[in-house]
Each structure stands twice: as C-alpha cells, then as structure tokens.
Chain A
Amino acid sequence: MLSNLLSNYRTVAGLAFVVLAVVLVEFFEVRASIYPSLLPFFEWLKYSSWIGYLGITYGSVYATIQAGHLISMAIIGGTVLVTDLRLLGVLLKDIPSETITKGTHQCFKYSLMVAIATGIFCAAGVADKVYYMPVFWIKMLALLTGSGFMFFIKQPLLNSRPHHEIDPWTLRILAAASIFIWFTVAATGRWIGFS
C-alpha cells in the first residue's frame, strides 16, 4: 500500500522529504553549526582566489562583470514575467502558452548559468561583507528554491501535456509562486547592493 503510494506519488514524496530535511536541519541547529566554518572560505574567496584578486584590484573588470550579472538577471526576470503572466492570462493571449513556455525556458537556462557565474565573481569581491548579511543568505535560498522549483516542478508539469488539460488554478498558483520567488531574488539582490 505504502510502496504503491510512494511509487505513484514520487514527486510529492520527494517534496515531503525535502521539507522534513529542512525542518530537521533547523531543529538540530545544523545550519547554525555550519555557518561559522564557512567564514574561512569566504575570506579565501576575497583575499586569496584569483577572482577575488581581480574584483578588488580592477574596478573596471568588476563593473563590467557586474553589468553582465544585471543583464542576465534582467533576462531571467523578463522570461519569468512573460511566461507567468501568459499562464495567468494577462499577456500574449493570442499565442499558445506551450509555445511561450518552451521558447522562454531555453533563454532562462542560459541566463541563469551566466547569472550564477557572474554572481560568484561579484560575491568574491565583497565576500567578507556578504557573509555577515542575512539578506545575502535569503537571496541564495530564494535562488536555490527558484531553480529547484523551475527544473523539478514547473517545467516537468508544463511539458507533461497541453496546458488546457492541466487544472487552470494549478497553472495560476504555479505562476504566482514563480513571480514571488524571482521578485524576491531581484529585490534581495538590489538590497545587497544598497547595504
């Protein structure tokens, strides 16, 4: 009975496992015990790694790569908004949502790769500062949640069948959650910049 349920509802079981793992990590204070041991890595990233050296020494290189980071984040925001507002029935109603979700996902994937690569460089230049910022960790959490949500939940569901066969409220709640996550990634990113 249980194995039958688990095999039929693998994604739900996987999600329950992830939530349970997060609760256990917080309950046993694993995150709090790991946090201090990350400081040497952040210090090494800023003062000893070549990307940290480049970022600290050459302001023009840092500014150029940060521009790449902002452009890639803007493209991510654009693809997310176009896809989700189409799923909510706000934009581009004359184009099938399947066409839009497939087209924008390719762009999203490449922009995410660029955003992560340039983001590591940007963080390296100010690593000893961002380590102490709670908002930096909230951004990392939102980025991780957003990527996991996109690749393991949203895309598999949207690619599984024509969208008119999926419950419309499921599509709406999916789109709203996606907008919320990426809004948080963008807002916390700017917050880091102003801290």
Chain B
Amino acid sequence: MIEVEGSTESIKDLQYAAVTISATIIIFFVVYWIIQIDSVRELLELAYG
C-alpha cells in the first residue's frame, strides 16, 4: 500500500505542476506533429500534384 506523504500543499503543488507540464507537452507535440504531417502533405502535392 502507498503511504500518504506530505501536506495538502505539497500534493497541490505536484498536481498543479503535473497538469501544467502535461498540457504544455501535449500542446507542443500536437503542434510538432501537425507541422510534420503538413510538410509531408506539401511535399506529396509538389511531387504528384
């Protein structure tokens, strides 16, 4: 079993940090992959019209 550690503030701190960094990571990588997919689409359009 997991023992409960730390105060309410420390859990809030971890939760805020987790939500902030997770949202940043998701937005960054979604934008990154959209750009990559779009560049492949443009290359295919140039190659095959």
Residues of A that sit less than 8 Å from B by CB: 8-12, 14-15, 19, 98, 138, 142, 145, 149, 153-154, 156-157, 159-162, 165-167, 170, 173-174, 176-177, 180-181, 184
Chain A residues positioned under 8 Å from B2 (CB to CB): 98, 159-162
Residues of B that sit less than 8 Å from A by CB: 1-2, 4-6, 9-26, 29-30, 32-33
User: Known pairs A161-B2, A173-B26. 7 more at Cβ < 8 A?
Assistant: A149-B25, A153-B14, A154-B18, A159-B2, A170-B19, A177-B22, A180-B25
Report Cα–Cα, A10/B7, bound state, in Å: 13
> Of B5, B25, B29, B33, which one neighbours A160 at CB under 8 angstroms?
B5
Report Cα–Cα, A11/B6, bound state, in Å: 13
Closest 8 A/B residue pairs (Cβ): A177-B22, A11-B17, A8-B9, A177-B25, A173-B22, A9-B13, A157-B14, A180-B29
Chain A residues positioned under 8 Å from B12 (CB to CB): 8-9
Chain A residues positioned under 8 Å from B18 (CB to CB): 153-154, 157, 170, 173-174
